[in-house]
Structure 1
Amino acid sequence: MIKHLIFACCGLLIAMTAFSSSAETKKQIAITFDDAPRASTFQKANERTKLLIKNLKKVNAPAAMFFATGKHLTADNAKNLELYAKAGHFIANHSNKHLWYRNTNTEDYQRDFLNAHDKLKNFPNFKPFFRYPYLDEGRTEAKVNAMSRFLADHNYTNGYVTIDNYDWYLDSLFQKAKLADKTIDEDALKKFYVSTLVDASEFFNDIALEYLGYSPKHVLLLHDNDLAAYYIDDLILALREKGWDIISPIDAYSDPIARKIPSTLFTGQGRVAALARDNGAQPNLLVHYAEDEAYLLQQFETLVAANKQCQIEQLGFLKGQWEYRSNKNIFSEHWTISKDGLQALGKVINLQTGKTLSKETIKLTRRNNQVIYSALPQQNPKVTHFSLASCHNNRYAFINKEHDFPQLIVYQYQAPESGKRERLKVDVHNLNGKGFTLNYRRLNDRR
């Protein structure tokens, strides 16, 4: 998120310079969905299709584009794709078997494309756009050029994206949580889904401003899934609130960026990121948290999928003395058993002077069938309470969404290996990921 803020600042300065003749730089974005028509998951396929159409209409969104995969076109699913088309949305080609070009020879890949074309060409509102599965346009110049010529020969246009994200992964986490009969905080899920995609849109627009010099007509990658059906209206409203105009994909693909073919052979994050690489951007600065599975999993488990079976006894490993040394200070937590749970004295001590800079009392108790983490810093007369939101694989996440900082405290216990002492990783963050980490090691036995 810090990286996102840096890009935002840089993007703003460039926008002011490059577009000084206009009062405001327009932000425009088209909505597209991959892997249509999807089979039934937690939602039945037909119900999902109708809900997605309804929610797009509710916010007066222009036509979206559904990139269909031929293998999904069973008799029932084909009817759902027809519903999208009859509602005025565009149908396009996303291959037949969803092959990964880097793992497939060109002839087989082109044959697969043609199989999908034959299945899709007679659908109402079909448009000859092709979106490469996995956004992989080829990892050699020969394969890139061969497929580019092939598309042109068949009067097709590359259905690239400019805003990449892992909305598909968020939906997979949702599906797994439902199968595991976990309790889902639907309001938290909606906010997490919407904020993640809005942040990704802002992030890639900032990259475009910095490395391309303008804000192109963007194309947002989404998937035909349950979360999109539930929250597409909230997402569009949130984008508009951030100053985005929702436009037709046909309009978006008329942007000059459509004719700027990247020279990089990695296009898996979309066209803006690829062109930014061509213009000198460091690859690690082009990755948004919306493309980070580990981060998304952590946030999902913490914010959305509450585990009601968390017990305070599971945190008994904390008992004892823990210490972390930075370049300047010693951080320590000394945990003991109390009559109503666990408690600790936390200290920060200056390494050079030995002076105690701060103290904090921490308590773990159970209230109303919840494990509560209570923190009372020496300099603050008010106790702040955090609820245990998830406990999985020795990871315990405490959350208070209303607190200014921190909003999230995560204890990750690491068992000793090869004679090393036990470790305790403590992440202290806000929900946007901004914060710090303390890597404690145990100083003594559990006493």
Structure 2
Amino acid sequence: MMSLRTWVLIAAFAVLCGTAAAQQPQVAFTFDDLPAHGPLPPGETRPEPVKSILATLKAEHMPPVYGFVNGFRLIGYPYQIEILKDWHNAGEPLGSHTYSHLSLDVISAERFEQDIAANEAVLAKVDPDGDWHWFRYPFLDEGDTLAKRRNVRAYLKQNGYKIAEVTIDFQDYLWNEPYARCMAKHDDASVAYLQTSYLATASEFIDVFRGLSKQLYGRDIPYVLLMHVGAFDARMLPRLIALFRAKGFQFVTLQQAESDPAYSFDPNIGYPGGGTLMELVAQVKKVNFPDNTEPDKKLDAVCR
């Protein structure tokens, strides 16, 4: 029979383990611009990045990952509906990214709402019974004026949509074009640089957004990561997942992440240029966004 002291030690250990689990940061991966994003390296076909992403998600035992769809791409390339079907058939859910990937900053709320509605036929065709009423704003532009923001949010609510906010963004899309250029030039050294800088920037911004979360909420909220279905994203996905694991993250679904109370707060401001949810909350609470690296100029010069 166990002594009282042994039971106390076991109970204390269980509490400590439970506390550690509760403190483990969480992240939901999401991908924008299905079925196609960015240029491809020579010899790579359009379905390949998504097939690679799907294979990685399966191999890494990731929970269901939302892919956000722009239906306009099917006009010139109707075969790309098969890419959407591949995503759906792999057990990954689909959401809306508008039909034409337009910025709400430069069009009216009414035109934007029409573009949301136009995307529904594509989503319903691929996934007639799915929960595709999750919506991701293109460019994260939720309205340069408060009137636009409120009008579109009212439309989304009336039509059963939930907003797929973003709370970690390291501008992963910036690497896809230089990658295609470097592969065309067979510049292995520059590709190696792209790999190193991609992971370094991702690591930096994970830490930046975690720090901002602790400033705004006093804790790690469950994060939502913005990604794109580009060729370099597909190549780097296994290493990116490994980076999150090395930082102690647990992977969750979009629904699980956004059930946190932090996502129920509407900053309720017009914000030209768009931004993540926490950037808008920081504006409202007058908290400065932390200093960070801006890799775009350096990447734009690679393999020119």
- Same fold (TM > 0.5): yes
Aligned with residue 226 of structure 1, among 205, 227, 231: 231
Instruction: Quote how far apart the aligned CAs of 1:296 are.
Output: 4.2
Q: 1:121-145: per-residue Cα shift (whole Å, max 9, x none)?
A: 2323442111111101111111111
Instruction: Quote how far apart the aligned CAs of 1:287 are.
Output: 5.5
- Decide whether aligned partners of structure 1 residues 254 and 57 sit closer, same or farther in structure 2, where only a CA change above 3 A counts: same
Q: 1:293-345: per-residue Cα shift (whole Å, max 9, x none)?
A: 124446xx4xxx5xxxxxxxxxxxxxxxxxxxxxxxxxxxxxxxxxxxxxxxx
Q: May I ask how many residue pairs the two structures share in their alignment?
A: 278
- Name 1:278's counterpart in structure 2: 284
- More strand by proportion, 1 or 2? 1
**Preserved CA contact (<8 Å) 1:101 1:136:** yes
Distance 1:65 1:219 in 2: 11
**Preserved CA contact (<8 Å) 2:133 2:161:** yes
- Name 2:48's counterpart in structure 1: 47
Matches within 5 A, 1:72-221: 72-73=73-74, 74-124=77-127, 125-221=130-226
Instruction: Quote how far apart the aligned CAs of 1:149 are.
Output: 0.4
Distance 2:261 2:126 in 1: 29
Distance 2:49 2:206 in 1: 24
Instruction: Quote how far apart the aligned CAs of 1:186 are.
Output: 4.2
Indicate the SS of the match to 1:219.
strand
Query: What TM-score results when the alignment is normalised by the length of structure 2?
Result: 0.84
Instruction: Quote how far apart the aligned CAs of 1:58 are.
Output: 1.5
Point out where structure 1 has 5 or more consecutive residues left out of the alignment: 1-20, 306-391, 393-447
Instruction: Quote how far apart the aligned CAs of 1:189 are.
Output: 3.0
- Decide whether aligned partners of structure 1 residues 287 and 115 sit closer, same or farther in structure 2, where only a CA change above 3 A counts: farther
Indicate the SS of the match to 2:119.
helix
Q: Which amino acid aligns with 1:27?
A: P
Query: What TM-score results when the alignment is normalised by the length of structure 1?
Result: 0.58
Indicate the SS of the match to 2:126.
coil
Indicate the SS of the match to 2:91.
coil
Quick check: 1:269 aligned with 2:270?
A: no
Q: Which amino acid aligns with 1:249?
A: L
**Preserved CA contact (<8 Å) 1:92 1:128:** yes
Distance 1:99 1:250 in 2: 25
Distance 1:25 1:156 in 2: 30
Distance 1:104 1:287 in 2: 31
Distance 2:172 2:136 in 1: 17
Q: 1:177-236: per-residue Cα shift (whole Å, max 9, x none)?
A: 334554445444333222322321221111010122221111101101001211111111
**Preserved CA contact (<8 Å) 1:58 1:233:** no
Distance 1:111 1:248 in 2: 28
- Name 2:257's counterpart in structure 1: 252
Q: Which amino acid aligns with 1:71?
A: F
**Preserved CA contact (<8 Å) 2:66 2:93:** yes
- Name 1:437's counterpart in structure 2: none
**Preserved CA contact (<8 Å) 2:123 2:132:** no
- Name 1:29's counterpart in structure 2: 27
Distance 1:72 1:225 in 2: 15
Q: Which amino acid aligns with 1:207?
A: L
Distance 1:71 1:286 in 2: 36
**Preserved CA contact (<8 Å) 1:64 1:248:** yes
Q: Which amino acid aligns with 2:279?
A: A
Q: 1:417-446: per-residue Cα shift (whole Å, max 9, x none)?
A: xxxxxxxxxxxxxxxxxxxxxxxxxxxxxx
CA RMSD of aligned residues (A): 2.2
- Name 1:402's counterpart in structure 2: none
Q: Which amino acid aligns with 2:23?
A: T
Distance 2:156 2:209 in 1: 27
Q: Which amino acid aligns with 2:152?
A: M
Point out where structure 2 has 5 or more consecutive residues left out of the alignment: 1-17
Instruction: Quote how far apart the aligned CAs of 1:79 are.
Output: 0.3
Indicate the SS of the match to 1:228.
helix
- More helix by proportion, 1 or 2? 2
Distance 2:245 2:132 in 1: 27
Aligned identity (percent) is 24
User: Of the two structures, which has the highest relative contact order with CA contacts closer than 8 Å and spacing of 6 or more?
Assistant: 2
Q: Which amino acid aligns with 1:245?
A: Q
